[in-house]
Structure 1
Amino acid sequence: MNHTQSSNELKSGLTTRHIRFIALGSAIGTGLFMGSSSAIKTAGPSIILAYLIAGIMAYMVMRAMGEMILHRPVKGYFGEHASEYISPLAGYLTGWMFALSLILVCIADVSAFAIYMKFWYPEVDAWVWVTAIILFIGALNLCAVKLFGEMEFWLSIIKVTAIIAMIIGGLCIILFGFGTKTGNATGISNLWQNGGFLPNGIGGLIASLTMVVYAFGGIEIIGITAGEAKDPKTAIPRAINQVPARILVFYVLSMFVLMSIFPWNEIGADGSPFVLIFDSLGFIYAAHVLNFVLISAMVSAVNSDVFATGRMLFGMAKQGQAPKGFARVSRYGVPWLTVLLIVVAMGIGVLLNYLIPEKTFVLVASAGAFAFIWVWLMILIAQLRMRQTLSVEQVSKLRFPVLLHPFGTLAGIVFMLFLFGGMAWFEDTRISLLVGVVWLGLFTACYFLFVKNRRLE
């Protein structure tokens, strides 16, 4: 089989429709469907405000990335902007931290797949399902990028439909009392009862922000798709500009419905918010439908993350910041070696989940949260530094300028630094900061050992 192309370049095969749903695929995973129980327990009904604040900051990050991509396009590696406008080390750390965060998310999700399948097939060993899903996702990512985009589109449609159904069903309970024992509308009084809108004070709201930002992690994939978009000048701005509406619908509105119907201190104990709402409506097949949606959401999220990680490592290899073999592409224009590496990494991660499940989970979640915040911070700083290199005439010709520059970018930077401070302040997230700093230290050491003075082989 001919694995390499003479050009060693990614092929353009993604439409605007594909790009929109690839970003959704990563940002909306199993966490939202199973309910952000830990964040809800920390913030109570104010979790709605936490999602809104984090969503605004996420949009600022996307606008900063979009401005840089359209001003100076790169294929597969938005970390190149950090290399150029901050320093080569910053770009190297951004790329590897982003790749690490997505690999860790993949490990957690494929481990959960076996749990979902046991609901229907309890007699089948877990390793069978884990192996099957890893091979399936790996094979899908080795296909032509257009086929990958189509699969991701339909997988995302399933979970988007489920969220919309949950919201509509929840609004019917709030406004008309459908499914309730009394038949009376529940209203929204649960938003301020049971301890108030801020039951754990402003500290609870601040503590939840790290977890909420982690839920948004993955929307940066929009920037990675630029290298394989048929019309990036049109597709990227459209996809980014739809981020606010999607945040309002899929996160803020769904949390508003959930917090309105049920007392916040009962949600974590009763499982998925989708099960709660569907059960309230008398939908007897709620558990089976939810399980199907969870599987679709998991496959979609891992699918997007494998795609993004492979393209990020491809771009880094082209810059000499990763092994040269990662820049090899198949006859379909796919960086096949990076996909195989990620498949192996997922397999090792699943093994660790079986051997040391408690320690593995803590390391995965902690490193992932820190990594996403670091990547967002580097994107914002790179955009700010890029603007300093442009003349007034060049700024006037920017196709997709950041809103409220420089105040929007500066607000985003302050917010990310505030999150790091919050991680250090609260005991529950202190390990996240510690693990993240360790990873940064390891990658920095690798940079000075293998990258700064010589190319990786």
Structure 2
Amino acid sequence: MAVETNQAPLPAQTPEKLRRTLTNRHIQLMAIGGAIGTGLFMGSGKTLSLAGPSIVFVYMIIGFMLFFVMRAMGELMLSNLSYKSFSDFAANLLGPWAGYFTGWTYWFCWVVTGIADVVAISAYFQFWFPGFSIWMSALLYVVVFVTLNIATVKMFGEMEFWFAIIKIVAIVALIIAGATLAAMHYPSSATDHAGLDNIWRHGGVFPHGLSGFFAGFQIAIFAFVGIELVGTAAAETADPEQVLPRDINAIPLRVIMFYVLALLAIMVVTPWNAVSADRSPFVAMFTLTGLPAAAGIVNFVVLTSAASSANSGIFSTSRMLFGLAEQGVAHRRFAQLSRRAVPLNGLLFSCLCLLAGVALIYFIPNVMTVFTLVTTVAAILFMFVWSIILCSYLVYRRKYPQRHRQSRFKMPLGRGMSWICLGFFLFVLALLVLQNDTRDALLVTPLWFVALAAGWQWQRRKTHTRLYGADKLNRERNRG
């Protein structure tokens, strides 16, 4: 990762700042879309097989904790509208090292998440074209994402708006379909009939005990990746003081709507023990009920959901590289914008990194194995970013008590809830040791932070050398 700090002058015809062209409509739907990710559609099959019906409580607990993280983020972002991203307030409140670690880690988070999305897209593509090469379909989608994101920021907002509309309509339809089939006691090949008793009559709510309940947290955490996207998009929001509070406060309702009710709808039709860990239960539900046409429609929906998540990830990574370049800890070319105010160089670099997903599918053709490995790494990295948000909030409360008192969007329970959330993230990290596949990812992830630490030390030495050289030159000139 390059860290040159000398800013070259940008061409006169190119804009120098990101434009605030995303409207309230765009941000609201991006926030909803961020709350309905690939982890829900693709990963809920595995979480159901691990935790059974208790997975509903897992999603509720995680959603509860992340609501407070988002409230902390919202108060910080609105306390200083010059903050463009997490790395900005982390650098300001915790020090330059925090901005460096947070910015690059968040960039890597979305690259890894994008790889997971590309893996999921390849799996969904097989529903219609089982003979088509998995890695070729992944490559095709990477090319499509590059093309879409070269457009204006407003065009991105429009795409995410309609992607989110598709997901919302699909989940509402799924909930209504589940309730209708349960009321009709619809016969299913997986069980005698659909009904509410399917939730508890196959081993109870905790069929695998506490160990199964705890095992469900890993992929469930990944399902919430993207919930913080409203913070990343704040720099391009027309009215952040109105938009951010409204969207953050809607998180609890969205968790109940899109996670709890959707999973309950699945379990009343297809009991948890009839759900395959390797397939999307949203598609499998309609397949088992003998409605193949509906299964094809749902497969299209979950494919567009994964595409939406990958598209949002590319948007986030390119903007994060733009912010890092402005801070002087990424190559100056990442700070250059196209005539349409798109950070094109960061966009192309992030998409190039997504090709790692194509390589993973090529060498490890088992989709769920790759998906679990990649999503665990992403979950760990996102928990680091969420923890930095909380640490920044704690320092903000200590350094700027006046700003906190004047804030119109205070985090409820403030300091105490910040420590509870930090403890929760440590608890989830400990849970990752329980499963072999998640343990492997937990052991690999620290290599990223080792690489970051080395990059930070190199950056500091380079800055020191440059400043020392400039000071020495000035002294020689003064003597002359």
Q: Same fold (TM over 0.5)?
A: yes
Maintained 8 Å contact 1:3/1:329: no
Q: CA deviation at 1:308?
A: 0.8
Runs of 5+ unmatched residues, structure 1: none
Counterpart residue number, 1:410: 419
- Give SS of 2:25's match: helix
Distance in 2 (CA, whole Å) between partners of 1:103 and 1:162 is: 27
- Give SS of 1:13's match: coil
Counterpart residue number, 1:277: 285
Superposed, which structure 2 residues align to 1:218-367 within 5 Å? 218-268=226-276, 271-279=279-287, 282-357=290-365, 363-367=373-377
Counterpart residue number, 2:94: 86
Counterpart residue number, 2:384: 374
From the CA coordinates, give the structure whose radius of gyration is larger: 2
Aligned CA-pair RMSD: 2.8
Superposed, which structure 2 residues align to 1:171-210 within 5 Å? 171-178=179-186, 186-210=194-218
Q: CA deviation at 1:36?
A: 1.3
Deviations 1:232-286 (A, max 9, x none): 1111111111111111100111112223333222212694322343346653402
**Which of 42, 47, 52 pairs up with 1:39?**
47
Distance in 2 (CA, whole Å) between partners of 1:411 and 1:41 is: 29
Distance in 2 (CA, whole Å) between partners of 1:368 and 1:318 is: 25
Deviations 1:264-322 (A, max 9, x none): 22212694322343346653402321231122112211111100111111111111222
Deviates more, 1:418-427 or 1:312-321: 418-427
Pairing 1:58–2:66 present: yes
Distance in 2 (CA, whole Å) between partners of 1:361 and 1:176 is: 36
Code of the aligned partner of 2:453: T
Code of the aligned partner of 2:384: W
Runs of 5+ unmatched residues, structure 2: 1-9, 467-480
- Give SS of 2:414's match: coil
Deviates more, 1:299-308 or 1:366-375: 366-375
Maintained 8 Å contact 2:91/2:100: yes
Q: Closer, same or farther in 2 for the Cα pair 1:452/1:84, shift >3 Å?
A: farther
Distance in 2 (CA, whole Å) between partners of 1:348 and 1:190 is: 41
Q: Closer, same or farther in 2 for the Cα pair 1:456/1:399, shift >3 Å?
A: farther
Q: Closer, same or farther in 2 for the Cα pair 1:417/1:118, shift >3 Å?
A: closer
Counterpart residue number, 1:22: 30
Counterpart residue number, 1:422: 431
**Which of 151, 155, 158 pairs up with 2:159?**
151
Q: CA deviation at 1:456?
A: 13
Report percent identity of matched pairs.
Answer: 38
Q: CA deviation at 1:4?
A: 7.4
Q: Closer, same or farther in 2 for the Cα pair 1:3/1:194, shift >3 Å?
A: farther
Deviates more, 1:378-387 or 1:35-44: 35-44
The ranges of structure 1 where at least 4 consecutive aligned residues each deviate by more than 6 angstroms after the TM superposition are none
Q: CA deviation at 1:79?
A: 1.7
Pairing 1:400–2:426 present: no
Deviates more, 1:37-46 or 1:231-240: 37-46
Code of the aligned partner of 1:174: A
Distance in 1 (CA, whole Å) between partners of 2:311 and 2:218 is: 24
Maintained 8 Å contact 2:22/2:154: yes
Q: Closer, same or farther in 2 for the Cα pair 1:363/1:169, shift >3 Å?
A: closer
Deviations 1:43-84 (A, max 9, x none): 111100000000001111111110000001245422222222
Pairing 1:108–2:116 present: yes
Counterpart residue number, 1:390: 400
- Give SS of 1:91's match: helix
Code of the aligned partner of 1:371: L
Distance in 1 (CA, whole Å) between partners of 2:277 and 2:352 is: 35
Counterpart residue number, 2:3: none
Distance in 1 (CA, whole Å) between partners of 2:112 and 2:388 is: 20
Distance in 2 (CA, whole Å) between partners of 1:412 and 1:354 is: 38
Distance in 2 (CA, whole Å) between partners of 1:100 and 1:456 is: 28
- Give SS of 1:406's match: helix
Q: Closer, same or farther in 2 for the Cα pair 1:187/1:130, shift >3 Å?
A: closer
Maintained 8 Å contact 2:38/2:223: no
Maintained 8 Å contact 2:15/2:338: no
Deviations 1:158-213 (A, max 9, x none): 122111111111111223324659x9974422333222211222222222222211
Maintained 8 Å contact 1:74/1:226: no
Q: Closer, same or farther in 2 for the Cα pair 1:452/1:91, shift >3 Å?
A: farther
Q: CA deviation at 1:388?
A: 0.9
Distance in 1 (CA, whole Å) between partners of 2:370 and 2:183 is: 44
Code of the aligned partner of 2:28: R
Deviations 1:103-152 (A, max 9, x none): 11212322443443344345655555434322221122121111110011
So what's the TM-score if we normalise by structure 1? 0.91
Q: CA deviation at 1:383?
A: 0.8
**Which of 435, 443, 446 pairs up with 2:452?**
443
